[in-house]
Amino acid sequence: VEVWSTETPATGSATQFSCVTPASQEVTISNAANAVVYYPMSARLVVEKNKTVSNVTAGKFSAPATFTVTYN
């Protein structure tokens, strides 16, 4: 599963999240007093390397993820 920093994966200024080489994503919350901060994210299931779409079958899947949030 790929996780992206936009509503639609791999479009515009999207950044792909990576466990191998994590990169910080800064989100401004200065205007968030008594408000919700919206940070768009999306994910897509990709076909495994050396496989084809014919190897994919319909069904449910899950992919656990942990995000660390720090405040300055």
Cα–Cα dist 7/4, whole Å: 8
* pLDDT band at residue 21 using 50, 70 and 90 as cut-offs: confident
- Tally the domains of the chain: 1
Averaged pLDDT for residues 43-55: 89
E-state strands within 5-68: 42-44
- What range defines the domain where residue 34 resides? 1-72
- Look at the pTM and tell me if it is higher than 0.85: no
Residue 29 has pLDDT above 90, yes or no: no
pLDDT of residue 50: 93
